Structure 1
Amino acid sequence: MDNGASSYRRFLDGDRNSFTELVTEYWDGLTLYLSGFACSITEAEEFAEEVFLKLYADKPKFAGKSSFKTWLYAIGRNTVLNMLRKRRKVRELPLDDFYEASDKEDIEKNHIHDENKRLLYGAMAELHGDYRQVLYLVYFENFGVAETAEIMHKNEKQVSNLLYRAKAALKKNLEKEGFEYEEL
């Protein structure tokens, strides 16, 4: 049993402090994953808040069929897709762009340390949404193909194909930027 699962079980048993542990442990990674669905890091943070609010209020059952992190990211993906469907019906005004830029920079500085990683993250932002998701889940969050397939609601073969195409597209984007690498 991983730390997230045990913290979540303690939360379900009434320990409110364990929920804080969950948020602390998974906030940054989940927010950056959800930024692939968002127009800004501020919007990604709103998505992450909604995911944690859903955990806190609805207390969905964690069956343990996958890792807690896989389960959480799948909930995040489903929550965001539902929110985006609802937003298509009702257009919202964007938040102040000036706050978004500073928020994004703070999270990126905490998660992306050197210039090559920043360049890589920028090149990933230009990729198709599924490509960006599969690369982020596999290489940044260290999910396996099976876990990534579960999160993305695809089979393992589809994820393997996506991963192959995503790496080729990323390589092309990085070469345009003059990025030098050993192997991708």
Structure 2
Amino acid sequence: MISDEELYRQYLSGDETGLEELIRKYDNPLTLYINGYLHDIHEAEDLMIEVFSYLFAKRPHIRDGGFRAYLYKAARHLALRHKSIRRHHFCLDDLTKEPEGGKLVDEVIRTKERNQILHLCMGELHPDYREALYLTYFEGMSYRQVAEVMGKSVKQITNIMYRGKERLRGLLEREGITNAES
């Protein structure tokens, strides 16, 4: 399997397939990451495209092993900047939270409820805890990569992760989920 950095260098040398592979690999995860800031999937999709546009227009030098962290750091920067200048809009989707009756099976309901509780509890966390936990557990990044994305040291990320997991465990227990793993 070709590394992200090799695909990026492939693109820089004029082969468009490198760009296509990187976009295919990161479009959904990056959109979900940005959506964590904006809470608007359509805006998150637009910003994901903007992240790639910036990256490939500017063609920055990225060290080996650093492409993913660079990409998420750029996404974080754009999302924070966008969030600070955007206006909040009313969304009809917020009113349609009812699940479809024919598809409700006990396991589906339990899973959905647990996911909603997790989402609710993650929303109550300090933003640094939430972001570090998300990048580590949902995006599979190492503490070093998370540190690079968040602009912190690995030691700070270690502390943030410890405190974030403890806080999240407490919130989940409050909501009745007692088998929360670290």
Q: TM-score range by the shorter chain?
A: 0.7 to 0.9
Pick the structure with greater CA Rg. 2
Return 5+ residue gaps in structure 2 as ranges: 97-110
CA distance in 2, matches of 1:50, 1:9: 20
Over the aligned positions, Cα root-mean-square deviation in angstroms equals: 2.7
Between 1:40-49 and 1:117-126, the stretch displaced more is 117-126
Structure number with greater CO (CA < 8 Å, separation at least 6) is 1
TM-score of the two chains, using structure 2 as the length reference: 0.78
Residue pair 1:42, 1:100 contacting (<8 A) in 2 also: no
Partner of 2:100: none
CA distance in 2, matches of 1:9, 1:84: 31
Candidates 95, 98, 109, aligned match of 2:92: 98
Partner of 2:129: 131
Residue pair 2:143, 2:154 contacting (<8 A) in 1 also: yes
Partner of 2:138: 140
CA distance in 1, matches of 2:165, 2:41: 24
Partner of 1:80: 79
Residue pair 1:4, 1:68 contacting (<8 A) in 2 also: yes
CA distance in 2, matches of 1:38, 1:100: 14
Q: What pairs up with 1:29-178 in 2 under 5 angstroms? A: 29-64=29-64, 66-85=65-84, 87=85, 91-92=86-87, 94=89, 97-98=91-92, 114-115=111-112, 116-178=114-176
Using a 3 Å threshold, how does the CA distance of structure 1 residues 59 and 93 change in structure 2: closer, same or farther? same
State the 1:10 CA deviation.
1.2
Aligned length, in residue pairs: 168
Aligned AA for 2:9? R
Return 5+ residue gaps in structure 1 as ranges: 103-113
| Residue deviations 1:12-61 (CA, integer Å, cap 9, x gap) | 11122321211110112112222232132223222212111112322222
State the 1:152 CA deviation.
0.4
